[in-house]
Structure 1
């Protein structure tokens, strides 16, 4: 009788709990792994995940950056070394979270630890002799902490098109796998139906979008924009910072948080957005003239993402919303004149992202632990055609 194959070693997966993008990316990826591959997810929230397949377990851990109120005040004044980003001293919650993951490493001998995202967790895996895959994000990440996480990684997973890479990533090029569109279900509805559901007529529409990770865009410059284009309807979705001095014309409406954001993207003739991952994915799929204005994020993540989109010919990057009518007219004219819908759709990625990324992880695991060459890794050409 043939011996049964040994069970597959688990993959670990750390998920940052701010927003839902990390969790949605994780869910799509682990659901695409072979059913016999167990996965243990570590996250400070359990309610942000879409449905997960059998064999995937979520372990809730304390937050690595939210204090519980019992921290040692004196230890908080210790200087932070350049090798870490968020590693305050005297936090029992951090000890508990890191201890939970270290216990998993010791007890279950994982084949890989996928980290989305934390330089400290990536370094923890490496120090515990567990190979890790680091999710790559845009930003100014040349500091020792990020470099340690990237330099020590078995692989780097980029959930975007290769043409959106930053020039300073060249040293890691051979380890980067691109999965454009991973976890970002941005298929948009048909334009006419979307406009009908929103109660729009034939007038042109500008949609302004801010993400969930910050405080939103200021109201005053949007009033200037709407007054500069009175023939165009302007609608904002997401958070807007109200300004006491803002004058809001009747063609500007704040819709707030909406459940049908794809309808707004599909209905738009012009997009003005922040540079969050989900927002950018929907904007690329919408393939409209696009102005991208980064919001503040750690390590200038959105700044570098906006610059990459501009370099790739997908959007017009502005460092801030225009402060005058003539500034708005210049910006809108530039976005319209350089608009390339085919280029935008090419960068958006496709439905194969999760399947290809899962196959890459399995191949990487086999190569690390068995020395098996197996099938060749998915090529960059195949990724581009996904």
Structure 2
């Protein structure tokens, strides 16, 4: 049995876990404060209490040693107790953590080998270093040749770069050339954004030479399967979350990437790597309305032909193979 801890913020961690666990041969129990998508790929799902709803947190960083461990928080105590109880009864051979330094450290203290999912950005603080140091293995869901942060190189001996993990891996792309009135698709997610449908309507009003469509933007439509819209767009405008980038890469769409504020400059690092390697047009914030024609034409000129270097094809299967191998090795050593 493998345990898989899934962070509840946004949809990305849950979607990525589903992609990986669907390719695993070892049974998996998901542990999360939010129901994971595609629960049929898990043998069981353990619902954990939230640890961020107990009022103003007291010393949540434990004197700067951790990221989130608020004093006297009943939710934190409950979730950690539930994790310990499950480990004692299920005796997992391995635990995948995506992501929490605290859960990784706690599980390792219980004697369970840990696989940690790496995240982009500036991860040089002591808490991140602790998590990567105690991990049995680290999986980075991007290609090493596209982004190889200095802070991760210390752990190169136990890191596997699997490429961008997309739930759309293997689906057919639409390679139809752009029409005379290109379709611009603006994608947003549930991880937080200051974008609104008013911004999209303003762009459509000022630039009618393009067709404008939005998915996931607050106040606008949401679809569970955006592949038809994504693969049919001439240009995709998106944040720089790992799943969003991987999905655009799988669709091979010209892209304008706008990094959203996230801890440790996660999205800024990804956006900078994409621009540096010529994969997408990257801008630091939502552009002025007058800037759009130049950005859209730059994205169309760049095209989406280079996206295969993000290695989305087979990425989830590569991650699953690493996890399966480590789980079998752990089980054999009991």
Q: TM-score range by the shorter chain?
A: 0.7 to 0.9
Unaligned runs of 5+ in 1: 1-9, 196-200, 242-254, 372-386
Q: How does 1:177-188 map to 2 (within 5 A)?
A: 177-182=160-165, 184-187=167-170
**Which of residues 314, 322, 338 is equivalent to 2:279?**
314
Note the C-alpha offset of 1:162. 2.5
Distance 2:280 2:299 in 1: 7
Structure 1 match to 2:4: 13
- Kept in 2, the 8 Å contact 1:188–1:265? The answer is no
Structure with higher Rg: it is 1
- Give me the CA root mean square deviation: 2.9
Note the C-alpha offset of 1:358. 2.5
- Kept in 2, the 8 Å contact 1:186–1:262? The answer is no
- Kept in 2, the 8 Å contact 1:275–1:306? The answer is yes
Structure 1 match to 2:211: 233
Structure 2 match to 1:61: 48
Distance 2:319 2:59 in 1: 42
Unaligned runs of 5+ in 2: none
Structure 2 match to 1:342: 305
- Kept in 1, the 8 Å contact 2:168–2:227? The answer is no
Deviation by residue 1:127-178 (Cα, 9 ceiling, x = unmatched) = 2232200011112221111111011111011223223434222212221222
Structure 2 match to 1:149: 131
Distance 2:88 2:171 in 1: 45
SS of corresponding position for 1:163: coil
**Which of residues 186, 189, 199 is equivalent to 1:211?**
189
TM-score by length of 1: 0.76
SS of corresponding position for 1:14: strand
Structure 1 match to 2:108: 126
TM-score by length of 2: 0.86
Shift in CA distance, 261/20, structure 1 to aligned 2, threshold 3 Å: same
Distance 2:173 2:29 in 1: 38
Q: How does 1:1-386 map to 2 (within 5 A)?
A: 10-34=1-25, 37-46=26-35, 48-52=37-41, 56-67=43-54, 76=58, 80-168=62-150, 169-182=152-165, 184-187=167-170, 191=174, 203-218=181-196, 222=200, 225-226=203-204, 229-240=207-218, 255-325=220-290, 327-339=291-303, 341-350=304-313, 352-367=314-329, 370=332
Deviation by residue 1:272-302 (Cα, 9 ceiling, x = unmatched) = 1111233222211232321100122222222
Larger relative contact order (CA 8 Å, sep ≥ 6): 2
